[in-house]
C-alpha cells in the first residue's frame, strides 16, 4: 500500500486508503514502471512505495492470499516459505513495552536558538542565535501500558532528543518539575506500587489504588509531588498545552571550564490548559486516544505546537543559601528567586511516518549530553544515568539500538565499538582498537579522541563543598610499566627466559609491520637489555633506541613463585597425579612388563594409554592386548611421559615407520621422560634420542617421573 505523506492525512483519506485493495482483481505482476521501490533499500532508508509484493529477500510473490497445500483440501505444506515468513515475522512483531512511560506519542520538529549563551555553556548549539537543529519529542503517560488511555491522572513524560552537530542531547523530563522520590534506589518500589497490583493485574493506568497510596503514606518525600499529581497538571487538556521540566539540576560548563547549575523548562507557546476530572473520565471512554489524535491532527493540519526552552541558572553560592538542597529532585526553585530565561524554541512540524519504527523504537538516554552540558550529583539523576542504557538494550534487544534511524545521531559517529546483534554498519579495515600505529603502515588507523572538543566532565563536584573531583586520570605510580615486567623476567630460570625470548621472536616474526617490531624492541630494552638484544638477533634487526619510560623502573627482588620450573623443582611427590603416560607395544611384547608399568603409574595417581600399530588386539607374550589408540593417531604429544615395551624384531620393523620414530623424536624434543626397553634402542637411535637423565630403562620410570628435562633443550633446539 502506498505510504501517505503526513500533512495529507485526514479521516477522509484514511477511508480512501482502506478501500484500496492492491492485488485484488489485478494481474499477479504490476508493470515495470509502477515499481518505484525496485532498487535495494539501504539500512535505515525509508521504504518507498512499490507495486511488487516480495518476501523479505526480494523474491516476488505470485499469491499472498492462499497457503500452499497438498491438493485443494489437503494439509498445508512445510515447504511454503511464503506463509512461513509472513506468519513468523508477525509472531515476532512485538517488543517489550517501556517499563514506565509505555504509552506515548511523538513527533519530529526543529529547535531554534533565540538567545546565544556562550558565557554559560560551550555547547555548539547555544553559541549563536538562530542556530537550528532537528528534534524528536515524545510525550507519555507513566503508569499505563502501551495501549492504555491518554487521559488518566498521571505525570506526563516530556522527552526531547536534539540531534545536534556535536551528537544527540536528550532532555528526558516530565511535565511536573519535581519527582516522587529523592534517590534512584526507590524507583522500582515507586513504580511497582503505582502500576497495576501484582496479584490482580489492575487497575490499569491509575494511581487511585491501595499500593500506590500505601507507598505514599510511608514515604513522606512524595508529598510535594503528590500536590502536583493531584492538581490539574496531571490531566492536561492536550500535550500541546503543558509545560516540560528537566526536573534535576544539571550543569552548564562554558569554554573556560566554569560551571553553573541549571534547571531546564519548556513553556508551551499556547499556554497551559487542563481538563476537569469529569472530562478526563468521559474522554477516556469517548476517545481513549484523545491526546495522540490531537497531536497528530494538529501537526497534520499545519498547526504546529511549540514550546520555549528556558533555563534557571544559579551558582553554588545561591544553592548553599537555600533552605532546600538543589540536588533533591523533590524540590523546585521558585521562578521568583531565579527567573526563567528563554533561550530557544521547539516547533513540532512533522508527524512520524511509522509509529513502531520511530515512536516505539525511540530510545532516550539522560546520558546523551553534549560538551557544555553536564550532570549534577542529584542521586535520582545519577541512577537514571545507568538505567536508561540498560533498559534500551533489553527493550530493543541489542547494543546496536543506536543504529536504528530514530536513535542515530545526524552528525557522523566513529569509534571502535564493533559487531553485536543486528549490526548494520560495515566498518572497513582492521583498525578496531586504539591506540594503533596502522597509519605508519599506510593503513587507515581510525578515529582518535579529541581532548579539545570532546566531552569532559566538570571536574569539581563543588556541591556542598564535596572535596572529590571527577577525573579521567591514573594515579602517578601506575606510570611504572617496567619494574614488574623485569621482576617477572628475572625470576625465570635460564631456560624459561630462553622460552620468553623465543616466543617473542616467533610472534614478532609473524608481525609484518617492521615499525611495530622495532617499537616492541625499544620497550623491551626497559625490561632487560639482554632480552631485547636476544630478540633483536632472533629477528635479525638492529636494536632501536630505548623507549623513554614514563616512570623509571625500580629494581625488585626476583621471586621464585613466578617461575614454573622453580616451582616444579621444589615440588615433592604427586608427580604422576593427573598425568598421562603413553606406553608403546607391538606384537610379542611382554604383557607382564606392560601390566606392571600400568599398575605402578595408576597406583601413583596417573593414567596409562596403550599405543600399538593396531588396535583390535595383538598377541603378546602372556596373552592378547588391546591398544587404546593406534600409533599414528596417538602421537606422543598427547602424553606427559612415554614408555615402550617392544620385542627387538618388532622394534626393527617400527624403526622404519615414521610414526614410531616421530613418537620418540617428539617426546625427546619436548623434554619428556622416555622409559624404554632394550629392544626400543634401535628406534631411539633413529630418532636421535641421546641418553640423559630423562631417557631411562622402564624400571626407572617411577623414579624419574613425568617431569620435563629442560637441561636437554639446548642440545635439541637453538634457543633465541
The residues carrying an active-site annotation are 101, 174
**Minimal distance in Å, beta carbon 519 to ligand HDE?**
45
**Minimal distance in Å, beta carbon 183 to ligand HDE?**
8
Task: Mention every residue, 6+ apart, whose C-beta is less than 8 A from residue 217.
Answer: none
Where do contacts with ligand HDE occur on this chain (CB under 6 A)? 98-101, 104, 138, 140, 157, 159, 172-174, 179, 184, 187, 247, 329, 362-364, 380, 383-384, 387-388, 391-392
DSSP 271: -
Alpha-carbon separation of residue 134 from 167, 295, 350, 371 (angstroms): 11, 18, 11, 18
Nearer to ligand HDE (CB atom), residue 190 or residue 527:
190
DSSP 560: G
Nearer to ligand HDE (CB atom), residue 160 or residue 684:
160
Task: Mention every residue, 6+ apart, whose C-beta is less than 8 A from residue 16.
Answer: none
Whether 141 and 150 have beta carbons less than 8 Å apart is answered as yes
**Minimal distance in Å, beta carbon 188 to ligand HDE?**
8
Q: Could you give the angle at which helices 514-527 and 494-510 cross, rounded to 10 degrees?
A: 160
158: enclosing H helix or E strand: strand 156-164
Nearer to ligand HDE (CB atom), residue 137 or residue 646:
137
CA distance 179 to 245: 11
**Minimal distance in Å, beta carbon 269 to ligand HDE?**
21
CA distance 263 to 255: 19
CA dihedral over 403, 409, 412, 418, signed as positive or negative: negative
**Minimal distance in Å, beta carbon 159 to ligand HDE?**
4
CA distance 563 to 584: 33
Nearer to ligand HDE (CB atom), residue 330 or residue 673:
330
Whether 400 and 420 have beta carbons less than 8 Å apart is answered as yes
Whether 606 and 576 have beta carbons less than 8 Å apart is answered as yes
**Minimal distance in Å, beta carbon 246 to ligand HDE?**
6
Whether 132 and 114 have beta carbons less than 8 Å apart is answered as no
**Minimal distance in Å, beta carbon 260 to ligand HDE?**
20
Cell of 280: 478526563
CA distance 126 to 169: 12
Task: Mention every residue, 6+ apart, whose C-beta is less than 8 A from residue 511.
Answer: 517
**3-class DSSP state for residue 382?**
helix
**3-class DSSP state for residue 442?**
coil
Residue whose C-beta lies closest to ligand HDE: 157
Nearer to ligand HDE (CB atom), residue 143 or residue 313:
143
Nearer to ligand HDE (CB atom), residue 28 or residue 188:
188
Cis bond leading into 226, ω under 30°? Answer: no
Whether 704 and 672 have beta carbons less than 8 Å apart is answered as no
From the CB of residue 403, how many other CB atoms can be counted at a distance below 10 Å? 17
Nearer to ligand HDE (CB atom), residue 380 or residue 527:
380
Nearer to ligand HDE (CB atom), residue 406 or residue 683:
406
**Minimal distance in Å, beta carbon 363 to ligand HDE?**
6
Nearer to ligand HDE (CB atom), residue 387 or residue 457:
387
CA distance 256 to 121: 9
Supply φ then ψ for residue 423, to 5 degrees. -65, 125
Looking at the chain, the number of H-run helices and the number of E-run strands are: 20, 18
**Minimal distance in Å, beta carbon 422 to ligand HDE?**
18
Cell of 159: 522527552
CA dihedral over 258, 263, 264, 265, signed as positive or negative: negative
Amino acid at each position: 500500500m502506498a505510504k501517505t505523506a503526513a500533512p495529507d492525512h485526514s479521516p477522509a483519506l484514511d477511508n480512501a486508503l482502506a478501500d484500496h485493495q492492491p492485488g485484488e482483481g489485478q494481474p499477479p505482476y504490476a508493470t515495470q514502471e509502477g515499481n518505484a521501490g525496485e532498487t535495494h533499500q539501504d539500512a535505515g532508508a525509508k521504504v518507498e512505495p512499490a507495486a511488487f509484493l516480495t518476501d523479505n529477500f526480494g523474491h516476488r510473490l505470485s499469491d499472498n492470499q492462499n497457503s500452499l497445500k497438498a491438493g485443494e483440501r489437503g494439509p498445508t505444506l512445510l515447504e511454503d516459505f511464503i506463509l512461513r515468513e509472513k506468519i513468523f515475522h508477525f509472531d515476532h512483531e512485538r517488543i517489550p513495552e517501556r517499563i514506565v512511560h509505555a504509552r506515548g506519542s511523538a513527533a519530529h520538529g526543529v529547535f531554534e536558538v533565540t538567545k546565544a549563551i556562550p558565557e554559560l555553556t560551550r555547547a555548539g548549539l547555544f553559541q549563536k542565535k538562530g542556530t537550528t537543529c532537528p528534534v524528536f519529542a515524545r510525550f507519555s503517560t507513566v503508569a499505563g501500558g502501551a495501549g492504555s488511555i491518554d487521559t488518566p491522572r498521571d505525570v506526563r513524560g516530556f522527552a526531547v532528543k536534539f540531534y545536534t552537530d556535536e551528537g544527540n542531547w536528550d532532555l528526558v523530563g516530565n511535565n511536573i518539575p519535581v519527582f516522587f522520590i529523592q534517590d534512584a534506589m526507590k524507583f522500582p518500589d515507586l513504580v511497582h506500587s503505582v502500576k497495576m497490583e501484582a496479584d490482580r493485574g489492575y487497575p490499569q493506568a491509575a494511581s487511585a489504588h491501595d499500593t500506590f497510596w500505601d507507598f505514599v503514606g510511608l514515604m513522606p518525600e512524595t508529598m510535594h509531588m503528590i500536590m502536583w499529581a493531584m492538581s490539574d497538571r496531571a490531566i492536561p487538556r492536550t500535550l500541546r498545552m503543558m509545560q516540560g521540566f528537566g526536573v534535576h539540576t544539571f550543569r552548564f560548563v562554558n569554554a573556560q571550564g566554569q560551571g553553573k547549575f541549571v534547571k531546564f523548562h519548556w513553556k508551551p507557546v499556547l499556554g497551559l490548559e487542563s481538563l476537569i476530572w469529569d472530562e478526563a473520565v468521559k474522554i477516556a471512554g469517548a476517545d481513549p486516544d484523545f491526546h495522540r489524535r490531537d497531536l497528530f491532527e494538529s501537526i497534520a493540519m499545519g498547526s504546529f505546537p511549540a514550546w520555549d526552552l528556558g533555563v534557571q541558572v544559579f551558582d553554588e553560592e545561591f544553592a548553599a543559601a537555600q533552605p532546600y538542597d538543589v540536588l533533591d529532585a523533590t524540590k523546585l526553585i521558585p521562578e521568583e528567586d531565579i527567573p526563567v530565561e528563554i533561550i530557544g524554541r521547539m516547533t513540532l512540524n512533522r508527524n512520524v511516518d511509522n509509529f513502531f519504527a520511530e515512536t516505539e523504537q525511540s530510545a532516550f538516554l539522560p546520558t546523551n549530553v553534549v560538551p557544555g552540558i553536564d550532570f549534577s550529583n542529584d542521586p535520582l539523576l545519577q541512577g537514571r544515568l545507568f538505567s536508561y542504557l540498560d533498559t534500551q538494550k533489553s527493550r530493543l534487544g541489542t547494543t546496536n539500538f543506536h543504529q536504528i534511524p530514530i536513535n542515530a545521531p545526524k552528525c557522523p559517529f566513529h569509534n571502535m565499538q564493533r559487531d553485536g546483534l543486528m549490526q548494520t554498519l560495515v566498518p572497513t579495515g582492521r583498525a578496531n582498537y586504539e591506540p594503533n600505529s596502522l597509519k605508519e603502515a599506510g593503513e587507515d588507523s581510525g578515529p582518535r579522541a579529541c581532548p579539545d572538543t570532546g566531552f569532559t566532565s566538570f571536574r569539581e563536584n563543588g556541591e556542598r563543598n564535596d572535596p572529590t573531583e571527577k577525573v579521567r586520570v591514573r594515579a602517578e605510580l601506575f606510570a611504572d610499566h617496567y619494574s614488574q615486567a623485569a621482576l617477572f623476567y628475572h625470576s625465570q630460570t635460564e631456560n624459561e627466559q630462553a622460552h620468553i625470548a623465543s616466543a617473542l621472536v616467533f610472534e614478532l616474526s609473524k608481525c609484518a609491520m617492521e615499525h611495530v617490531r622495532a617499537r616492541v624492541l625499544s620497550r623491551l630494552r626497559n625490561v632487560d637489555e639482554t632480552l631485547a638484544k636476544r630478540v633483536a638477533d632472533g629477528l635479525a634487526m638492529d636494536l632501536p633506541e630505548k623507549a623513554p619510560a614514563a616512570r623509571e623502573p625500580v629494581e625488585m627482588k626476583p621471586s621464585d613463585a613466578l617461575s614454573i620450573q622453580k616451582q616444579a623443582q621444589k615440588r615433592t611427590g604427586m608427580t604422576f597425579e593427573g598425568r598421562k603416560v603413553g606406553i608403546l607395544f607391538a606384537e610379542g611384547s611382554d604383557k607382564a612388563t606392560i601390566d606392571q608399568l600400568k599398575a605402578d603409574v595408576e597406583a601413583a595417581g596417573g593414567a596409562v594409554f596403550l599405543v600399538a600399530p593396531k588396535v583390535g588386539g595383538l598377541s603378546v607374550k602372556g596373552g592378547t592386548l588391546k591398544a587404546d589408540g593406534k600409533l599414528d593417531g596417538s602421537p606422543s604429544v598427547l602424553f606427559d611421559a612415554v614408555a615402550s615395551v617392544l620385542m627387538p624384531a618388532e622394534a626393527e620393523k617400527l624403526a622404519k615407520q615414521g610414526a614410531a620414530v616421530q613418537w620418540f623424536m617428539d617426546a625427546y624434543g619436548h623434554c619428556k621422560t622416555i622409559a624404554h626397553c632394550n629392544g626400543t634402542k634401535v628406534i631411539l637411535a633413529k630418532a636421535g634420542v641421546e641418553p640423559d637423565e630423562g631417557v631411562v630403562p622402564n624400571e626407572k620410570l617411577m623414579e624419574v617421573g613425568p617431569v620435563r628435562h629442560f637441561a636437554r633443550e639446548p642440545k635439541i633446539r637453538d634457543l633465541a
